[in-house]
A = this chain, B = another copy of it.
């Protein structure tokens, strides 16, 4: 790769970004795996062993009293989220959805952080936070409307304190910051969490969100899922140092957590939320994870990344890891897994049926919510549209 290290090097560059030609394969192997990242907070190894050391000390207490029931809950959330995600992917293949953005591989980051939240906290997602939505109690079928093309989101954000999916990269980090400023003004002790990706970290809006939240000491957690890719661009195209370090220069702490470790994601997010509630202001959490699938169903990752990379990450699967832990610690038996399997299938069926039953919007929906208080031109155009539509009805009636 051609991204330079911060260490001095000579001789001087010859032609900018042209460097040694590297193949995707070489890149993949050169890349560090999360287990070897020194700065990574990890509580469960890929093998499902509980880690406790100097690096985890600050976070252990946030999961110290976690019950087997809660652990099974986390497992269930991840499994059902993955099942929902797989169903959506296949619904897209069947033409029921126009597009789908899979979260495959990111379940631990999303369920861990999502389960750290209180009901009165507020979530600002990107377009991939299906697992967080699940934790908030958003009906999964609600998420599918925009991907089916029947609406642009449309659920009530205040219903579950889960804001609409935001597609313009980075925008929602400012909304989250503003919302958090409002929380502070209200004297409430809720917290706000803003999700974004490694690619998004480059957007000016995200930096401005860091600035505003720091200056106003807003109770917001910036939760960056570094899934290694922004469509076809590896994280090195966005930064030459680990992303969690970005926060420091804005005056608040950043931490990198193993985003494939649901326990660590839960603990670190709880810590960050506690900071927010305590009036200590913003925190950046970088969840180090991997986008196992394509960027969306429109994408073809074989164009830009090697299979080996994906395979290396498969060994760190977030669900497998917790399953190993549950099994080794006898926190879950065969019955649990079997029941969950059935529940999973039922969920898939329910989603499938709900999507197929989703009606196309009425044509007049075009004009429906352009404005809250109305707009003369919209009224005029709606009337013209009605007359035009009626002309066909007339014509048909006349035949």
Q: A: which residues have CB within 8 A of B? A: 3-4, 6, 8-17, 181, 184-185, 187, 189, 201-208, 211, 214-217, 219, 236-241, 245-254, 275, 277-281
Bound-state CA distance A63–B156 (Å) is 64
Contact B15 A187, beta carbon cutoff 8 Å: yes
Query: Which one of B6, B216, B237, B239 contacts A16 once the chains associate, using CB atoms below 8 Å?
Result: B216
Rounded to whole Å, the gap between the CB of A76 and the closest CB of chain B is 34
Rounded to whole Å, the gap between the CB of A236 and the closest CB of chain B is 7
Given A187-B14, A204-B208, decide whether A249 and B240 contact each other with a Cβ distance below 8 A: no
Query: Which one of B8, B187, B248, B279 contacts A249 once the chains associate, using CB atoms below 8 Å?
Result: B248
With a cutoff of 8 Å between Cβ atoms, the chain B residues found around residue A185 in the complex are 15-16
What are some 5 contacts across the A-B interface (CB < 8 A)?
A: A3-B217, A12-B278, A207-B207, A215-B236, A248-B249
Bound-state CA distance A249–B253 (Å) is 11
Given A14-B187, A184-B16, decide whether A281 and B247 contact each other with a Cβ distance below 8 A: no
Rounded to whole Å, the gap between the CB of A206 and the closest CB of chain B is 8
How many copies are assembled?
Answer: 2
Most buried by B among A16, A187, A208, A236: A16
Contact A15 B184, beta carbon cutoff 8 Å: yes
Contact A181 B278, beta carbon cutoff 8 Å: no
Select from chain B the residue with minimum beta-carbon distance to A189.
B12
Contact A245 B246, beta carbon cutoff 8 Å: no
Query: Which one of B6, B17, B214, B245 contacts A281 once the chains associate, using CB atoms below 8 Å?
Result: B6
With a cutoff of 8 Å between Cβ atoms, the chain B residues found around residue A181 in the complex are 16-17
Select from chain B the residue with minimum beta-carbon distance to A17.
B216
With a cutoff of 8 Å between Cβ atoms, the chain B residues found around residue A239 in the complex are 211, 214-215, 250-251
Rounded to whole Å, the gap between the CB of A242 and the closest CB of chain B is 9
